[in-house]
Structure 1
C-alpha cells in the first residue's frame, strides 16, 4: 500500500521535471460548456502560409467536415532525408492541416497512438526515444489534436514516465482516450472513456479501447499501481456506444490491438460508423474495408506516420475516405511544429548528450581486445584501397551530416550511428572532438576494430579476424543495418556489393608493411600521422 500511495507523487514530480524538457505552452481549441471540443475555426492564411497552393480533396464535393486520422508513428518525427521520396513527418502533417484551415475546411484530429515503438531497441537508444515521446506529444498539442488513443507501445518508456509526459503535454483539448482502462488514484482525469468533437456541423463521438492481452505483455513495476483496472472491450463498448449514439452524428472507435481484433469488434458493434485499426505494414491499402453491409468503415493508416486518413462527411450522402501520403509538397515555411521538431528536439539531444552518453559495449567477435583506430591507420599498408574508399560517399558520410540543412543532426544518435565508425562500441565514435578519426563510414565498420592487426600485420589470427566475404556480409545483414527500407529503399546487396569490392588493389612487397606500428587510439587527433 505504501508503494501505491507514493507512486502518484513520484510521477507528478517527474512531470514537473519534464517541464524543462518539452515546455508546457500550446494553443488550446475552444471548448463548450458540455465538454465538447472543436478545432479552431478556419482562419485567413497567415503571412507565412504555403506559397505553392493546390486544392485539397478536389475529387470530392464540398464536405461539411473532415475527420483526419493518424497513428502508429513509431518514432518517425520526420523523414531523415537519406533517400529521395520519403513520406511522412509531423512538419508535413501540420502543413496539410494548415492548408485545410486556409481553404476553409472544418476538421477534427484524432491519433491512434504508438508515437514511439520499442524504445529498448531504438537505433538512437532509450534516452532519445524518451525525448522523442515528449516532443511528439508537444507537437500534437500544437495542432491541436482532439484525441489520442492510449497505446501499450507508448508505455514502454515506463508507465510512470509516460504518465508524467502525458500530464505535462496533454493539457487543454487533446484528450488521452481509453474506454476500458481506469487509471490509479490521483490520475482519474488523465484517461477519459470518450470525447465529443466537431468537424464543422458534424458531431463525432470518439472512443478507444486497448487490448488487455497487449498490455499484459508489458513488464513494468508501476503498471499495477497506475493502471489497476483493464476491462475487456466487450464489457464497456455497449454502454459507451449507447451514450455516443445519443449525442453524436457519427461514432468512431480506435482499437489498440491486433488488426483481427479490430475487425471482430467492428462486426460485433455495428453502431460504430468508423473503426480505426492498427497496421502490420508501413504502406496500407488505399481503400477502407466496408463491413456490416457497408455501414462500417474499417481503416488503417499504416505505420511510421507516412500517411494520414481523411474521412469526409457530406450532407445527404455517405462518408468518403481518402488516404493521403505526406510527400514533399507539404513543405510549407516555418511553423510552430517545425520549430519543435527541428530546433527544440535536436537542441535537447545536444543538451543531454544522447550521442556521447549512448550506452556502449565491447565489440563482439574480432581479435580480443582490439580497438577502433580509423582508416588513416590502414592507409600505410593499403594505400590503393584507402584511395578507392576516400572517393566514395561512405568517406563523406559525416560531412553530409555537417552540411545537412536541418540543425544539429550530428547530435542525433539515430543519424550518427550510420555516419561514423563503431558508434555503439566502447572504443568507437563519441564525438567530433573526442574521436575525430572516426568520422565517416570507414573500413572498420565492415571489418571490425583493427588495432591488433595494425600492430602485428603478419599475425594470421588478427588478419583472419578482419576478413569479410560477400557471403558473410549478406548473411549477417551487415549493409542492411544502415541501408534499410527507410534510408536506402532501392538497395539490393547483389547490385551494390561489386561497387565496394577492393581485393588485390594493393601489393605488400615493401618490408615496412610487415613491421607493424603501434596505432594510437582513434581519439588522438594525430593518430597515424607520419606512420
Structure 2
C-alpha cells in the first residue's frame, strides 16, 4: 500500500512540474496589416514574402505547440476604391475569420472603399472593427468599437488584454474629411485608459500613425505595454524600438511580415519575453484552407469578368493594336526570334497558375490591356495574349497604314513599367535586354531611311 501511495504522489508531483513549465502558460499576439490588397505573392519571382496562406500556417504552428495565438489586424486591407479591391476585402475578412482573428483596426484605406461597403462589412462580420479617435457622419451605420477588452481563454485565472486604437489625423485627407472627424489621440485615449485601469492585465495600442506620433503617445501613457505602429514602413526588420520599457514595432506593408509579441503568465500576471518581426517566407507551407479561398477569389474575378468590364482608355490619334502575328507579316525574322523568348509565354504563366482573370496580373502579360482595342480577354482577342511586339514598341495600327512614319523607339523606362521592384527586383536592363533583343530587319523593298521602325 505504501508503494501505491508513493507512486500516486510521484505521478502528481511530475504532473505539477510538467504543468508549471508547459506551453499553456504562454501566449503570443500576432499582428498583421497594411496588406493593401495583397492576398498572396504574385509569383513573378522566387523568394517573395507574405500571403494569407503562410500566415495561417504560422498561426497553426503555434496551435500545434499548444500555444495560444491571438491574431490582430491593424488596418488598410485594400489600396484603392475599385471593385477588385472590394472583392479582396471580402476575401481578406473571410481569411481573418478562418484564422480566428479577434479584431480589425480601421485604416484610412479601409474608409476609401466607401462607407456603404464598409458598413456592410462591419454588420456582417463577427470580427470587431476598432477605431478609438474618430466620429463618422454617414447614412450608412458603421459598427465599430472604441476599444476591446478581451479575456484570455485557457488560463486558470481570469486575464484580460485591452486593445486600444487610434488613427493619425495626417492620414485622413480629401473626400474622407467629408464624413470622418479625427480627434486628438492623447485626448481620446486618456478617458479610455482611466476606465480600463485595474480591469486589464495588459494594454496594447494599435497606432495607425507614423512612428514619431506613436512615440509621443507611448511617452504620455507608460501604462501601455505594447505599441504596434509605423505606418508605411516597407522593411520593418529594423523598426523595433523602446520607449522606457514599452516596445514599439511595425509589421511592414503588403502582409509580408507579422509582428509577434510573446508572453508568459506567472503568478497571475503577464510578462513579455520577446517581440519580433517575422518574415512570411517559404518556411511556412501553404495552408490548404487558404489555398481554397484563393482559388475562390480567382473564380469570383472570372465570374464578374472584371477584365472586360474595367474602363478602357482611348489611344491617341485613332491608333489601335494589331497583335504580334500581324507584325510578323513583314518582320518574319523578328517574329521568329520573339517566338522563342519568355515574352511569348507570358500569358501562359498566368493561365498555368489560374491567374489569367486577374486584372492586376494581366496588364504585364498581354498587349494593350486597359486601352480600347487592347487585350480584353482570351476568348475575344487571343492575338494580344503574351508580351508582344506592341508591349514594347507601342500600338502598331498607324504604323501598318504608313510604315514610313517614325515608330517603335524603345528605352529602359518602358521595361520598368512591369520590371519594377515589386515584380522584378533583380532586373538589370543590359542583362535582360540581351535575352529578348531581336535582330534588325528591314522589310523587303524598304531601306533604313524609308522604314519608320
TM over 0.5: yes
Give the CA deviation at 1:182. Answer: 3.4
Give the CA deviation at 1:189. Answer: 7.2
TM-score scaled to structure 2, two decimals? 0.87
Give the CA deviation at 1:486. Answer: 2.3
Give the CA deviation at 1:240. Answer: 1.2
Give the CA deviation at 1:511. Answer: 6.6
Is 1:178 the counterpart of 2:138 in the alignment? no
Q: How many residues align?
A: 422
Alignment of 1:246-261 (within 5 A): 246-261=198-213
Tell me if structure 1 keeps the 8 A contact 2:116–2:140: no
* 1:515 to 1:431, Cα distance in 2 relative to 1, 3 A: farther
**Whole-angstrom distance in 2 between the partners of 1:261 and 1:415:** 36
**Whole-angstrom distance in 1 between the partners of 2:314 and 2:228:** 44
* 1:361 to 1:490, Cα distance in 2 relative to 1, 3 A: same
**Whole-angstrom distance in 2 between the partners of 1:416 and 1:508:** 32
* 1:300 to 1:100, Cα distance in 2 relative to 1, 3 A: same
Tell me if structure 1 keeps the 8 A contact 2:80–2:112: yes
Q: Residue 148 of structure 1 aligns to a residue in which SS?
A: strand
Tell me if structure 1 keeps the 8 A contact 2:228–2:249: yes
4+ residue segments displaced more than 6 Å: 185-189, 511-516
Deviation per CA, 1:132-189: give whole Å up to 9, x if none.
1122122212212111111111111222222222222x22xx2111111234588777
Alignment of 1:104-503 (within 5 A): 104-119=66-81, 126-168=82-124, 170-171=125-126, 174-184=127-137, 190-199=143-152, 200-201=154-155, 202-215=159-172, 217-220=173-176, 223-224=178-179, 227=180, 229-286=181-238, 288-292=240-244, 295-315=245-265, 317-335=271-289, 337-340=290-293, 342-364=294-316, 368-404=317-353, 407=354, 409-457=355-403, 459-460=404-405, 464-468=406-410, 473-474=411-412, 477-502=413-438
Tell me if structure 1 keeps the 8 A contact 2:24–2:66: no
Tell me if structure 1 keeps the 8 A contact 2:313–2:371: yes
**Whole-angstrom distance in 1 between the partners of 2:409 and 2:373:** 20
Aligned mate of 2:65, from 78, 82, 103: 103
User: Gaps spanning 5+ residues in structure 1: where?
Assistant: 1-59, 120-125, 517-531
**Whole-angstrom distance in 2 between the partners of 1:268 and 1:153:** 27
Give the CA deviation at 1:495. Answer: 2.9
- What RMSD, in angstroms, separates the aligned Cα atoms of the two structures? 2.6
Q: Residue 309 of structure 2 aligns to a residue in which SS?
A: coil
* 1:333 to 1:193, Cα distance in 2 relative to 1, 3 A: closer
| Higher relative contact order (Cα pairs below 8 Å, separated by 6+ residues) | 1
TM-score scaled to structure 1, two decimals? 0.74
**Whole-angstrom distance in 1 between the partners of 2:430 and 2:119:** 47
**Whole-angstrom distance in 2 between the partners of 1:359 and 1:374:** 21
**Whole-angstrom distance in 2 between the partners of 1:265 and 1:494:** 49
